[in-house]
Amino acid sequence: MPEDGECAAACGSPVAANISRVNGRTKRDRSLETTSKTERKRRTCDPSERLSCHKTQDSLLSSASGYNKYRGILNWCVVMLVLSNARLFLENLLKHGILVDPIQVVSLFLNDPYRWPAACLVIVANVFVLVALYTERQLSKGSFSERLGFLVHAINMGVLITFPAAVVLLLPSVTPVGGASALSIYTILFLKLYSYKDVNLWCRELSSIKVKKLSRSLSCESQTQAHVSYPGNLTIRDMYYFVFAPTLCYELNFPRSPSVRVGFLLRRLCEMLFFTQVLVALAQQWMVPIIRSSMKPLEVPNHLLWLMFFYWFFHSSMNFTAELLRFGDRQFYNDWWNSETVTYFWQNWNIPVHKWCLRHFYKPLLRRGFSKKVSQSAVFFLSAFFHEYLVSVPLRMFRLWAFMGMMAQIPLAWFVGRFLRGNYGNAAVWISIIIGQPFAVLMYVHDYYVLHHRQEVDGL
Amino acid sequence: MPEDGECAAACGSPVAANISRVNGRTKRDRSLETTSKTERKRRTCDPSERLSCHKTQDSLLSSASGYNKYRGILNWCVVMLVLSNARLFLENLLKHGILVDPIQVVSLFLNDPYRWPAACLVIVANVFVLVALYTERQLSKGSFSERLGFLVHAINMGVLITFPAAVVLLLPSVTPVGGASALSIYTILFLKLYSYKDVNLWCRELSSIKVKKLSRSLSCESQTQAHVSYPGNLTIRDMYYFVFAPTLCYELNFPRSPSVRVGFLLRRLCEMLFFTQVLVALAQQWMVPIIRSSMKPLEVPNHLLWLMFFYWFFHSSMNFTAELLRFGDRQFYNDWWNSETVTYFWQNWNIPVHKWCLRHFYKPLLRRGFSKKVSQSAVFFLSAFFHEYLVSVPLRMFRLWAFMGMMAQIPLAWFVGRFLRGNYGNAAVWISIIIGQPFAVLMYVHDYYVLHHRQEVDGL
């Protein structure tokens, strides 16, 4: 809105100065005196201000401008996504109705509606939680030696990771989707219980240090909020709060939000329901026909599904759970969309896993004297193992595509970090996400279809 | 990257404090003392820091976080655009070759390759430039009275706006695209000459004030840079610099960049060539078949073409021209993508026109005592007139769709400003751009095809 519109004609100006009516030709007067600040100020409400309306400045989209506020572009993506899929939705509704979808989804999890092997697996998971809690209680009381405690934990977690894999591999009634869901839950639980064991061990270590120097510890004791201290945390309630909390890192005193905001909860719930519907509809309408008919590259659809899954899981669902549990730390992801190196992407897109890796794997390795390079590669190796575990076992195919995809990140990270900067690095990261990840998925899908539908393929 | 990984075990911690080995149940100790800052600092290199790794914070995508850095999303859009159109390009190349496109483009401008009416029109435009310069020179010398000068300018600009329209309407050899281009150039020239006339008038006004108080003006005269003062600017060179400069607002001393950066120039040139190719290819491959076959709504393609046109014109081309002319003020657009109100969008997407409207239309209206509401509506009315002028005349159809589209912005601006805030307002602006603008275009395209291809339509 204009500000100086009404200001009346007043003092002279540099533009009007040095007039020579006779001399109509170019005449540049090079006066080199500098204008004082008060002089400049006085001129702001000057009609001669009208005469200059330009100043030297860069365009916002030039990289030199350093401008990076693009919230609106995100809204544009959402609007475009909704608008360009609105017709697809309507057609889907008119063709299949709304009832078809949920049943098809259920059939992905269950072959036989009277046997729910994946659900049973999840229920059985409670046993491992209780064993871990029992072991920690015995350790805190001194009934178990540290050695015995470690052994029990090792066996418990060893079984935790092998037992569901064996069930999925051996029971034919487990579908790939059901199996992958159950194994994901077991993997999450594995990481959580590992953290639980570590933190309780650290507490015991610290208490033994504390006994040696009681005087100093008193100064540290002060806390503004009510908090739980070491063996007081070993309760069923505390354990299950951690199991359901949207984090993989155990802590005795999680930061808590003051109350459950119902509006926030409902917004996230609506998003969850909406995106579930979108993900299912898109998968059915878009991807299944492509795979069935022509095995075309599905980079773009797959990528959009992944983006929606990201928002659905890391924003809507995790914030929903956090709000419900009054869990204060909502940093479930960082600004990975701006990542200019592959390393930055992996450190920021999945903060719970990144935090766990840093706290319970990377830093312990560093403390044991390994170099940063080796420790970082070890983290990628661990991640590669779990990616393979979560894909190969449910599909009952060991092809190592996921494993190699993760391990390929190490040379890729080196290449991008070495040769690309700024927006080019960012574009390279995006391309690796858009092309690379669906490529690995496609390899599995291809092999799975060749393996299970060879007759159909040959028949055509 | 981890920082406290190697730090050795040291002092006690609040977590380890208050241990009671017997009491294994929940025991929350509510110590209310506050920790001193030095105390907190000491604890940062503490092994007990491992025990807490969460802090209360919002997710970045929550509106409460206030986070708005999404440069990466813009890169994502570019990568997606390139990837999703890469195949289209390849197919286009394989099918039509690269030679087909330019000829088809030329045929849009020319019906008869031996007669270039639009190009001739543009050459004739120089006459109006020279008349304006001549008039100003006579005015500066006092040979023309202010009254006569005003009359000459009025006639010059009246002819400037009506003559090309008459040519386009009467000469059948002018194609719609050629006519629209010629009229755009004439419109730009009209706005430039209007500004030229205004600024030179203001200079004469100021100099007459200055004569009255010579003493004060001397203090204003000082400038650090070499600059031109009033009648010295009335040269062919200065005039043509203004005609080609990427601005509509005349100024005696434009801010200039120190040198022409060849790298910058080449990058912009590559963008210009690339986007020209993309725009033409998309229009041929995507829009023409849609219009020919089914008259489906073309919201999304049209919108993407508009976005690409925006970048091509307002970033690549204008920066290219500015770099070539060492024109310093590169603010050709502002952050309209974040606009939360319709008014903000119109004020920021086309800065040269906005600046002109503010300086030569809105503020003069305010100075004449009109209210802000009335002046704002008058600006929309003027804009609506030129939109209609640039569409109706080349198409030789007076339907007022563009006019009504612009005038509809007034109630729309009121509605969005009144009822929608923040991201919802931004989404509303995006929807109005994505739906509204192509809708108006579609109306013209529809009417044009019905008018010119009725036989074909009836024949089917």
| CB-count exposure of residue A62 (10 Å: 0-12, 13-18, 19+) | middle
Q: Mind telling me how many Å the CA of A104 is from chain B's nearest CA?
A: 30
What's residue A18's pLDDT?
A: 36
Least CB-CB distance to A359: which of B20, B50, B142? B50
Question: Is A76 within 8 Å of B222 when comparing Cβ atoms?
Answer: no
- Give the chain A residue nearest B337 (alpha carbons): A72
- Beta carbons of A379 and A362 less than 8 angstroms apart: yes
Q: Which residues have C-beta within 8 Å of that of residue A452, sequence separation ≥ 6?
A: none
Out of A123-127, B98-102, B375-379, which region has the weakest mean confidence (pLDDT)?
B98-102
What's residue A71's pLDDT?
A: 81
Tens-digit pLDDT profile for residues B77-122: 878 777 766 766 676 666 655 544 556 666 666 666 566 788 888 8
What's residue A351's pLDDT?
A: 93
Q: Mind telling me how many Å the CA of A338 is from chain B's nearest CA?
A: 4
Q: Mind telling me how many Å the CA of A283 is from chain B's nearest CA?
A: 19
What's residue A28's pLDDT?
A: 37
Q: Mind telling me how many Å the CA of A35 is from chain B's nearest CA?
A: 6
pLDDT confidence band for A40 (50 / 70 / 90):
very low
The predicted model gives B50-64 an average pLDDT of: 81
pLDDT confidence band for A389 (50 / 70 / 90):
very high
- Beta carbons of B196 and B248 less than 8 angstroms apart: no
Out of A15-19, A187-191, B147-151, which region has the weakest mean confidence (pLDDT)?
A15-19
- Give the chain A residue nearest B41 (alpha carbons): A220
What's residue B451's pLDDT?
A: 79
- For residue B407, pLDDT over 60 is answered with yes
Q: Mind telling me how many Å the CA of B280 is from chain A's nearest CA?
A: 22
Residue whose C-alpha is closest to residue B299's, from B403, B444, B450, B432 = B432
Interface A-B: count of C-beta contacts within 8 A: 436
Least CB-CB distance to B9: which of A209, A332, A337? A209
Given the residues A153, A354, A360, A387, the one annotated as active site: A387
d(CA A291, CA B450): 41
Question: Is B206 within 8 Å of A12 when comparing Cβ atoms?
Answer: yes
- Give the chain B residue nearest A7 (alpha carbons): B367
Question: Is A50 within 8 Å of B359 when comparing Cβ atoms?
Answer: yes
For the question of residue A387 being annotated catalytic, the response is yes
Least CB-CB distance to A74: which of B1, B73, B220? B73
Tens-digit pLDDT profile for residues A217-244: 444 444 445 678 888 899 999 999 999 9
pLDDT confidence band for B287 (50 / 70 / 90):
low
Q: What does the mean pLDDT of chain A come to?
A: 78
Question: Is A56 within 8 Å of B328 when comparing Cβ atoms?
Answer: yes
Question: Is A71 within 8 Å of B423 when comparing Cβ atoms?
Answer: yes
Least CB-CB distance to A75: which of B19, B224, B426? B426
Question: Is A224 within 8 Å of B32 when comparing Cβ atoms?
Answer: yes
Question: Is A55 within 8 Å of B28 when comparing Cβ atoms?
Answer: no
- Give the chain B residue nearest A33 (alpha carbons): B222
Q: Which residues of B touch A216 (CB under 8 A)?
A: 11-12
B351-to-A271, A328, B330, B331, B347 alpha-carbon distances in Å: 37, 44, 10, 7, 7
- Give the chain A residue nearest B254 (alpha carbons): A54
- The β-bridge partners of B57 are A329
d(CA A68, CA B337): 12
Residue with tokens 């003493």: B215
Out of A219-223, A261-265, B48-52, B427-431, which region has the weakest mean confidence (pLDDT)?
A219-223
